[in-house]
């Protein structure tokens, strides 16, 4: 028995040396966490297929290959194509079958370049998913089209199909809901590994993930729940404080619509019309734009602007004759709320957004609350919260979002929120497997994001620092917040190159990193929290005309 164990150790050592030599690592060979392999960066790696595209037709992925339970998968279509840039690739579409015959399949799409850089990039979805993300384009905030850079690119629909990203009714099927929460991520990942190994004769050197909003929440699931299987992750504006964010939508909707009665009082006292909302935004931009040294339509000195909130509130209240009810709406949008009870993760405060520093509040064009709330007319976050409470939390399509007291919940509502927090939140600070595996995380937000609070993400990031300390956190996580970045828009950056260099060499890029600001088409240096960008002189289009101020009070 002892001799057999020694032989196994020798084989494992030989295999380790071999894998390091050829430049890739296999999760199946080593199920325990392993440090990432150091190798040439993606731009210097070219691997050609060992099979023809036709060999992928009808490829069956055995159920036992998946880490999470399913009925296996199959490739349903294969087509060779070329991008506008001239990259030849194979477009592969497939499904992963559920165990429950009433649950829908997981549908996925994968692009396999004919000249592969040895890396895979999984793209996250959006809203309540229901459709495959655009694997052929640049992802949110990305400046590079991954397939043209030689990446295997793939994504899936999260385990159900819908024409609307707002549709939450799929959650009535438990397997479909569990797939959405997190299981679809690793199932699609395993399908990719099988197809890639079949086509190229090896698995990826590094596995990356990129996502924004819901995709950002998925990114954090990959880094925490499945940390030993991912090497690099770009997480933007994540819907990670899931229950608190939906409570924010519910409480904001109450602030806007609580006075409305279709028979006796068909008015929403907390509603603010779109012209006034635009006026408030413009007033903030006019006041704060120059506080960073240049007038360019962007607010960079966000900390000074936030310190001026009380003064600015007095200005707009008098200018627009805002009522107490309208001021309460602005307060929820800008400052969020605090509960007397905590979620399962200990959090009980939602911080709100930069509604008084140049962000655009989205209260909809109508003061009439639809049933269910509709983002085309109503408060944007109310629409999201309405469907989530009905189908995810309460399991009751008749749930009335505005009718409940979320500050003083009864026992039933309290238990519902606790169960939801334990199940849906993706804000765990536990990156132990990810760190042990050598994983690297780029965390990103924008000061003008009015969907997922940048101030809330700061609190979440501070939780990482509390757990690991600043030095260890810096070793696996870089956290940036940039001016003028709204939800999924406003900034372009080459985060894939930064992430790959970090994973490939073990060193994060030492030079100053720049992003392109879509408003000006000029560059700015990436502001790592708690930094902000200040103009110092010269051509405003050049990143060298700015510096990062790392003190909140300058």
Q: Which are the catalytic amino acids?
A: 213, 449, 487
- Residue whose structure tokens are 């497939």: 94
Handedness of CA 385, 390, 394, 400 (dihedral sign): positive
C-alpha 80/C-alpha 100 separation (Å) is 33
Alpha carbon distance, N-terminus to C-terminus of the chain: 68
Tally of helices (H runs) and strands (E runs) in the chain: 15, 17
What is the C-alpha R_g of the chain?
24
C-alpha 176/C-alpha 98 separation (Å) is 8
C-alpha 142/C-alpha 210 separation (Å) is 9
Cβ atoms within 10 Å, residue 14: 10
Strands 349-350 and 232-236: unpaired
- Structure token digits, residue 202: 């090896």
Alpha-carbon distances, residue 140 vs 229, 444, 474, 521 (angstroms) = 23, 11, 23, 17
- Structure token digits, residue 69: 């339970």
Q: Is 533 helix (H, G, I), strand (E, B) or coil?
A: strand
509-526 per-residue burial string, b: 16 or more CB within 10 A, e: under 16: eeeebbbbbeeeebbbbb
Handedness of CA 31, 210, 349, 405 (dihedral sign): negative
Counting every residue written for the chain, the total comes to 554
C-alpha 25/C-alpha 552 separation (Å) is 43
C-alpha 140/C-alpha 104 separation (Å) is 27
Sheet holding 522-525, edge to edge: 491-492, 514-517, 522-525
Q: Which element (helix H / strand E) includes 411?
A: helix 411-424
Residue 322, φ and ψ in degrees, nearest 5: -75, 140
Q: Which element (helix H / strand E) includes 458?
A: helix 454-468
**Burial (Cβ within 10 Å: 0-12, 13-18, ≥19) of residue 279:** middle
C-alpha 130/C-alpha 170 separation (Å) is 9
């Amino acid at each position: 028995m002892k001799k057999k164990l020694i032989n196994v150790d020798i084989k494992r050592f030989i295999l380790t040396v071999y894998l390091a030599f050829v430049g890739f690592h296999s999760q199946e060979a080593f199920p325990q966490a392993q440090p990432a392999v150091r190798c040439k960066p993606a731009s210097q790696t070219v691997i050609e297929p060992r099979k023809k595209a036709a060999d992928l037709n009808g490829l069956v992925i055995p159920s036992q290959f998946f880490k999470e339970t399913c009925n296996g998968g199959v490739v349903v279509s294969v087509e060779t194509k070329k991008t506008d840039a001239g990259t030849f690739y194979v477009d592969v579409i497939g499904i992963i079958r559920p165990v429950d015959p009433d649950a829908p399949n997981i549908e996925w799409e994968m692009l396999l370049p004919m000249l592969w850089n040895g890396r895979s990039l999984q793209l996250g979805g959006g809203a309540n998913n229901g459709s495959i993300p655009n694997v052929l384009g640049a992802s949110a905030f990305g400046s590079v089209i991954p397939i043209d850079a030689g990446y295997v690119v793939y994504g899936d629909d999260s385990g159900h199909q819908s024409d609307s990203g707002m549709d939450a009714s799929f959650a009535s099927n438990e397997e479909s809901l569990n797939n959405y929460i997190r299981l679809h991520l690793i199932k699609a990942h395993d399908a990719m590994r099988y197809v890639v190994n079949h086509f190229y004769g090896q698995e990826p050197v590094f596995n990356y993930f990129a996502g924004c909003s819901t995709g950002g929440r998925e990114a954090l699931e990959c880094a925490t729940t499945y940390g030993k299987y991912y090497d690099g992750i770009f997480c933007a504006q994540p819907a990670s404080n899931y229950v608190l964010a939906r409570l924010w939508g519910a409480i904001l909707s109450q602030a806007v619509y609580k006075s409305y009665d279709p028979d006796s009082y068909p008015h929403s006292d907390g509603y603010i019309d779109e012209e006034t909302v635009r006026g408030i935004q413009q007033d903030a931009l006019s006041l704060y734009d120059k506080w960073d040294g240049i007038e360019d339509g962007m607010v960079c000195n966000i900390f000074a602007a936030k310190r001026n909130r009380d003064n600015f509130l007095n200005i707009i209240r008098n200018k627009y004759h805002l009522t107490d009810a309208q001021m309460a709406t602005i307060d929820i949008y800008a400052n969020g709320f605090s509960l007397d009870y905590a979620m399962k993760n200990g959090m009980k405060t939602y911080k709100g957004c930069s509604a008084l520093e140049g962000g655009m509040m989205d209260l909809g064009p109508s003061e009439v609350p639809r049933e269910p709330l509709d983002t085309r007319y109503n408060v944007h976050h109310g629409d999201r919260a309405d469907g989530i409470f009905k189908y995810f939390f309460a399991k009751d399509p008749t749930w009335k979002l505005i009718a409940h007291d979320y500050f003083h919940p009864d026992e039933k509502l309290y238990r519902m929120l606790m169960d939801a927090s334990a199940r849906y939140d993706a804000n765990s600070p536990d990156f132990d497997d990810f760190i042990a595996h050598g994983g690297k995380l780029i965390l990103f937000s924008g000061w003008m994001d009015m969907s997922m609070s940048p101030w809330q993400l700061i609190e979440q990031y501070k939780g990482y620092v509390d757990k690991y300390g600043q030095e260890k956190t810096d070793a696996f996580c870089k956290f940036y917040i940039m001016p003028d970045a709204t939800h999924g828009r406003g900034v372009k950056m080459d985060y894939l190159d930064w992430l790959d260099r970090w994973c490939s060499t073990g060193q994060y890029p030492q030079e100053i990193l720049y992003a392109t600001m879509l408003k000006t088409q000029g560059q700015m240096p990436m502001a790592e929290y708690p930094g902000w960008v200040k103009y110092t002189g010269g051509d405003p289009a050049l990143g060298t005309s700015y510096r990062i101020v790392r003190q909140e009070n300058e």
